[in-house]
Amino acid sequence: MNRAPRLTPALFVHAERLLLQLLTFDYPADGVLSRYFREHRNLGQNERGFLAELLFSILRHLRSLKARCDGEATQRHLLLAALVMQGYPPRELELVARPAELEWMGQIEGFDAAGLGPAEQLDLPDWLYEKLVAQWGEAEVLPLVQALNRPAPLDLRVNELKSSRKAVLERLQADGIACEAGRFSPMAIRLAEKPALSRYPLFQEGVIEVQDEGSQLLGLLLAPRRGEMVVDFCAGAGGKTLLLGALMRNTGRLYAFDVSEKRLSNLKPRLARSGLSNVHPVRIESERDIKIKRLAGKIDRVLVDAPCSGLGTLRRNPDLKWRQTPEGVAELTVKQASILAAAARLVKPGGRLVYATCSLLQEENEAIVAAFLAASPEFRIVPVARELEALGWQAPGECLQLLPHVQGTDGFFAALLERRQG
């Protein structure tokens, strides 16, 4: 276990500078941190870990921290308030706090949060709290959001082309990495902590990949078979692409479509490590690209991991709740409907499509699927419970809904659709 670095004035200055950049919400938080760390290579691994954990904690609890600061929510005050709430040793806080701030910090610790409104207590913007309550009800929203406000664990996926979960568990434990088998995916391993894996032999050899267990279930739901033609319609950096290729046992043909050349470039080193040779990355201009139209009616299985609000991933991306807006979500639903319609044209009779998001909102999930089915009578929905029984898991309802406080995964939604024969 890495020891937390000593809190010094210099480290506190780095935190102030980073928080100033993060609170503009112009760019994703993880990208801001990555760029800053590249520019400040003198920061050690423990210092980077400390800064990331502290700053992400502030993003998770930004609204209630601002309330505690009572109109004095400068970068300094937010940082000091967060450190107080984390129980940081007073002796170390005195190294970075000004004399006038010490008394103020005592008031922070004694703040009574009971007087805050429910959205403030749960650290959500009002619009998102209202949407979640309307959809889930107040009783369910409380544990859901409490889980979303905690850091996500680190999950791995075993590349079964190269090893077995049993063998990888034994190797990790022998190397002093505490871990356990995942609850649902037969390839999942959950680590007790978050060690740096980039130089770990099993990672470099392509035996393991970092992938949330919920994300793994999306590929298992699609269930591609040997020798099939398969499309990952919104491949991104390719985590699910690699899973699909392994499930196909490196046979058939797997297209990885994405509009971003950069994301597809990030797939290439992962692809090389994986040992897969059946993956074909293809950059497309949009869902209406001619490269897609040429494959119409020819594909056995299609995965649509649609661009979405990402509100099911707040454990990893807490800035999203402050960066997203109702207007932004409405724009996304138009895009989602267009992408699903285009991807469905690829599916041959008897073929299947999984529409998935990492959103918690019905308007991005059930509503998109319902509108598609109403306009596309050649498709039917396949209840997920029947498909996931093979994993020994009873998933209620027609669609898959994963929640952090229930399954311990990110908040994923998935619907399995099948094109009718004839």
Q: What is the DSSP string of 345-412?
A: TTEEEEEEEEEEES---GGGTHHHHHHHHHH-TTEEEE-HHHHHGGGT----SSSEE--TTTTSS---
> How far apart are alpha carbons 49 and 2 in whole angstroms?
9
Residues 150, 315 contacting (CB under 8 angstroms):
yes
- As a whole number of Å, the CA-based R_g of the chain is 23
Residues 270, 238 contacting (CB under 8 angstroms):
yes
Say what the pLDDT of residue 6 is.
Answer: 82
Say what the pLDDT of residue 1 is.
Answer: 43
Say what the pLDDT of residue 3 is.
Answer: 57
Residue 110 has what DSSP assignment? Answer: T
Could you tell me which of 232, 285, 234, 237 has the C-alpha nearest to residue 262? 237
What are the pLDDT tens digits along the chain (422 aa)?
A: 455 678 899 999 999 999 999 999 999 999 999 999 999 999 998 999 999 999 999 999 999 999 998 877 899 999 999 999 888 877 788 889 888 888 888 788 778 888 899 999 999 999 999 999 999 999 999 999 999 999 999 999 999 999 999 999 999 999 999 999 999 999 999 999 999 898 999 999 999 999 999 999 999 999 999 999 999 999 988 999 999 999 999 999 999 999 999 999 999 999 999 999 999 999 999 888 999 999 999 999 999 999 999 999 999 999 999 999 999 999 999 999 999 999 999 999 999 999 999 999 999 999 999 999 999 999 999 999 888 877 777 666 799 999 999 999 999 999 999 999 87
| Dihedral-angle region of residue 297 (phi above 0 means left; psi in -120 to 50 means alpha; beta otherwise) | left
Say what the pLDDT of residue 395 is.
Answer: 65
Q: Establish whether 358 is a catalytic residue.
A: yes
Could you tell me which of 335, 355, 412 has the C-alpha nearest to residue 232? 355
Strand partners, 157: 188, 209
Options 69, 308, 358, 399, the catalytic residue: 358
Say what the pLDDT of residue 100 is.
Answer: 83
